[in-house]
Structure 1
Amino acid sequence: MPIVTIQVTREGTTPGASSTTSEQKAALIKGASELLRDVLNKPMESTFVIIEEVDTDSWGWGGLPVLEYRKKLAAARAARPR
């Protein structure tokens, strides 16, 4: 019985979205289940998919909370000569 855990940020995929939509989650569940069926010959009925949404204050990048790191990247891009 395979168990797949997919972690996504709670930011959603479109501007202003605060989370992944039910339709997007359903597509992830279907796609992961089909992948295990096609690659490992695992029946879809015995495949469990867990989707975890992670708040932006619960993960980091480059030694900083992600929102601070993104600000740092934006400032570096803005400072580059064009």
Structure 2
Amino acid sequence: MPMIRVEMFEGRTVEQKRACAKALTKAFVESCGGTPEAIQIVFTDVEKHDWAFGGRLGSDPKE
């Protein structure tokens, strides 16, 4: 079974995650085949201070 993992900053609503799951499932089935029932998606909410990019934490103010 295909597994899609989505890591993003916390704050999305259940409705947003539901819409994302639907869109990702549709895109995967259209591009890679399979059935929607076989697709698994895991959402991981990450606090901004636990994610860094470009040497800065996501919670750091923009310069």
TM-score, normalised to structure 2's length? 0.88
Amino acid at match of 1:5: R
RMSD: 1.1
Rg larger in structure: 1
- Deviation of 1:67 after TM superposition, in Å, equals 2.1
- Provide the residue aligned with 2:9 in structure 1: 9
Does 1 or 2 have the higher relative contact order (CA < 8 Å, sep 6+)? 2
Q: Percent identity?
A: 22
Q: Matched residues in 2 for 1:72 and 1:31: separation?
A: 31
Higher helix share: 1
For residue 57 of structure 1, the aligned residue among 34, 42, 49 is 49
Unaligned 5+ runs, structure 1: 11-18, 74-82
Q: Matched residues in 1 for 2:34 and 2:17: separation?
A: 20
Q: Flag as ranges the 4+ runs of structure 1 deviating above 4 A.
A: none
Unaligned 5+ runs, structure 2: none
- Provide the residue aligned with 1:67 in structure 2: 59
Between Structure 1 and Structure 2, how many residues are aligned?
Answer: 63
